[in-house]
């Protein structure tokens, strides 16, 4: 069994060196976003009075602190040097692991960092490359990156198929009816198209077919080149027409495509490496680590399908983040956020500012409640509400109640989500603005 797994896992080195260089470039491109958003709550230019940790368990955050600024500067300086070293052709396990550790730590601190697919995938690439032995003729890194790319497409398709708004055409209609998702050049063009819903339905199913084709076609030698060309054009179209920040995602996917191709063999000796058996005694531990990484890349996106998740009618864009690959699944607009605290029977209203006004997830709500309790330690009740319009057709009201009867008692936290009509939405927002 282990022999068959090894034969499947280990591939000729192919373009592993180039993938490593490009991963260094990707790591450099994402560094400013990681720095900026992970500094939420630190004051200065960062538009958030508190940070929102990524991992939440039983309404308790598994939070990590922001290191002192000199330490942050040192970490990111070393991270930048490591990325430049990768771009220069250096292939060292310590560099890959250090960079992956930096991404992991700061993603854990702030969920907004962890929700970007173009940050999660380079993290996977770094872990895959860390399991490479640059002195060997074969590598597991290519197969691991292949799993990352294929799973990204397939889980993206799965999310879209299980969310009716998408395959019925509402999601794309909302994204492009007013040019919302397009960049400044193409925004007027999309806004002027005024396509009917059935056209967006057809377009949605076309995207589902293309993404499925990309996932499956890359896995077979006969279709691989045609599939890769399709993918380059597909992601090139996204890069040209969408907001510039989305272009990083196209670069990530193109880098991953290289893992599916071998270099042309010039000699019989070189081509012999394709059939050379893997030394199982030397690679046993590496295979265990590779299997663990594959499990991680599959189980993380799968977790959202466990029982207990939000129903589709009250689902909002970031409810399932991080690491779920829900590209273009829906458009959401946060209409308003309200934070109310009760102290000694008197209500006190906290004015939301900055990114607080974009709060929509459970993490956002509990982070806002924690912030309110920090400001008013004697609070007996905290009520956090947010209204999100999904695909310009459905208003979702989310409410979180934090109640504490005595100082020595753990607070009771409850959360509800419901669909409300436009009249109720207008009434609530007007009331919040007055308060």
Cis peptide before 394 (omega within 30 of 0): no
Domain assignment of residue 183, yes or no: yes
Q: What pLDDT, on a 0 to 100 scale, did the predictor assign at position 320?
A: 87
Are 143 and 8 a contacting pair, CB within 8 Å? yes
State which of 305, 320, 344 marks the end of a domain.
305
CA distance 189 to 42: 40
- Identify whether residues 139 and 274 lie together within a single domain: yes
- Identify whether residues 100 and 196 lie together within a single domain: yes
Q: Tokens 């007996």 appear where?
A: 380
Q: Tell me 351's DSSP state.
A: P
Q: What pLDDT, on a 0 to 100 scale, did the predictor assign at position 181?
A: 83
Are 20 and 326 a contacting pair, CB within 8 Å? no
Domain assignment of residue 318, yes or no: no
User: Cα–Cα distances in Å, from 286 out to 2, 124, 125, 292?
Assistant: 12, 16, 16, 10
User: Cα–Cα distances in Å, from 338 out to 244, 343, 376, 391, 431?
Assistant: 32, 16, 16, 22, 10
| Percent of the chain with pLDDT strictly greater than 70 | 95
Element (H, E) at 338: strand 332-343
Length of the chain: 435
Domain assignment of residue 381, yes or no: yes
- pLDDT less than 50: residues of the chain: 268-272
CA distance 247 to 31: 15
Q: Provide the domain limits for residue 80.
A: 2-305
Q: What pLDDT, on a 0 to 100 scale, did the predictor assign at position 262?
A: 94
- Identify whether residues 283 and 352 lie together within a single domain: no
- Of the candidates 138, 150, 148, the residue with the CA atom closest to the CA atom of residue 16: 138
Entry pTM = 0.93
Q: What pLDDT, on a 0 to 100 scale, did the predictor assign at position 158?
A: 95
Q: What pLDDT, on a 0 to 100 scale, did the predictor assign at position 279?
A: 60
- Identify whether residues 52 and 201 lie together within a single domain: yes
Provide the domain count of the chain: 2
Domain assignment of residue 201, yes or no: yes
- Identify whether residues 170 and 267 lie together within a single domain: yes
Q: What pLDDT, on a 0 to 100 scale, did the predictor assign at position 282?
A: 53
- Identify whether residues 161 and 237 lie together within a single domain: yes
Domain assignment of residue 124, yes or no: yes
Q: What pLDDT, on a 0 to 100 scale, did the predictor assign at position 277?
A: 62
Domain assignment of residue 310, yes or no: no
């Amino acid at each position: 069994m282990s022999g068959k797994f090894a034969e499947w896992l280990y591939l000729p080195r192919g373009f592993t060196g180039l993938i490593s260089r490009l991963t260094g470039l990707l790591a450099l491109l994402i560094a400013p976003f990681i720095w900026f958003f992970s500094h939420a709550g630190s004051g200065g230019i960062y538009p958030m009075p508190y940070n929102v940790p990524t991992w939440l368990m039983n309404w308790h955050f598994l939070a990590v602190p922001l290191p002192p600024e000199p330490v942050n500067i040192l970490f990111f300086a070393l991270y930048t040097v490591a990325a430049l070293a990768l771009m220069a052709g250096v292939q060292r396990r310590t560099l890959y692991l250090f960079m992956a550790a930096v991404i992991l730590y700061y993603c854990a601190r702030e969920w907004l960092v962890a929700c970007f697919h173009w940050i999660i995938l380079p993290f996977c690439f770094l872990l895959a490359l860390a399991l490479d032995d640059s002195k060997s003729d074969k590598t597991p890194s290519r197969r691991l990156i292949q799993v990352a790319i294929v799973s990204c497409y397939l889980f993206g398709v799965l999310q879209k198929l299980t969310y009716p708004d998408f395959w019925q055409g509402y999601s794309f209609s909302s994204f492009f009816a007013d040019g919302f998702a397009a960049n400044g050049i193409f925004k007027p063009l999309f806004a002027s198209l005024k396509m009917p819903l059935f056209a967006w339905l057809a377009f949605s199913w076309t995207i589902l077919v293309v993404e499925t084709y990309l996932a499956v076609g890359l896995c077979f030698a006969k279709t691989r080149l045609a599939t890769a060309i399709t993918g380059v054009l597909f992601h090139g179209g996204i890069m040209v027409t969408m907001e510039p920040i989305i272009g990083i995602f196209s670069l990530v996917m193109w880098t991953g495509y290289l893992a599916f191709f071998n270099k042309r063999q010039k000699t019989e000796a070189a081509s012999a490496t394709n059939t050379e058996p893997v030394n199982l005694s030397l690679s046993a531990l590496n295979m265990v680590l590779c299997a663990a990484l594959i499990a991680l890349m599959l189980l993380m996106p799968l977790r959202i399908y466990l029982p207990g998740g939000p129903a589709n009618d009250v689902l909002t864009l970031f409810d399932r983040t991080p690491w779920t690959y829900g590209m273009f699944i829906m458009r959401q607009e946060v209409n308003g956020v309200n934070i109310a605290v009760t102290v000694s029977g008197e209500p006190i209203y906290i004015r939301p500012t900055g990114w607080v006004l974009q709060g929509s997830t459970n993490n956002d709500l509990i982070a806002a409640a924690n912030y309110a309790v920090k400001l008013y330690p004697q609070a007996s009740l905290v009520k956090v509400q947010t209204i999100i319009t999904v695909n310009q057709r459905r208003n979702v009201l989310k409410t979180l109640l934090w109640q504490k009867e005595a100082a020595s008692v753990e607070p009771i936290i409850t959360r509800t989500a419901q669909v409300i009509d436009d009249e109720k939405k207008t009434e609530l927002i007007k009331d919040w603005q007055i308060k």
